Amino acid sequence: DAGVIQSPRHEVTEMGQEVTLRCKPISGHNSLFWYRQTMMRGLELLIYFNNNVPIDDSGMPEDRFSAKMPNASFSTLKIQPSEPRDSAVYFCASTQQGDYGYTFGSGTRLTVV
């Protein structure tokens, strides 16, 4: 099992550009979560999906952020337009619904300059 796969590992972009982060969850897991890690706030939940359906997006900071899960094996988190304050490490995690032992990906370190 390759685990949760995120791409890219690092992304450096200019302010105003569109950024797309990608995640492939573990096969068979039906819950997927996007988290953002910052020094000040630690790990913040942005959005999560059950069976490809968005359940709670109350953590998405602004309309500039959007997330999709078109099928059980792929999800994207898009920021358009990006701003320097979006710089953080973004993690994707997956699990079987009801199991709190999430498996996290290695994260995408986003730097917006």
In the complex, which residues of this chain contact another protein (CB under 8 A)?
4, 31, 33, 35, 40-45, 48, 50, 55-56, 91, 93, 97-98, 100-107
For another protein, the closer CB: 28 or 42: 42
Q: How far is the C-alpha of 32 from the C-alpha of 62, rounded, in Å? A: 20
Task: Specify whether the CB–CB gap between 23 and 109 falls below 8 A.
Answer: no
Task: Specify whether the CB–CB gap between 44 and 38 falls below 8 A.
Answer: yes
For another protein, the closer CB: 22 or 81: 22
Q: How far is the C-alpha of 88 from the C-alpha of 107, rounded, in Å? A: 10
Closest distance of CB 93 from another protein, Å: 7
Backbone angles phi, psi at 96, to 5 degrees: -80, 135
Closest distance of CB 60 from another protein, Å: 13
For another protein, the closer CB: 79 or 107: 107
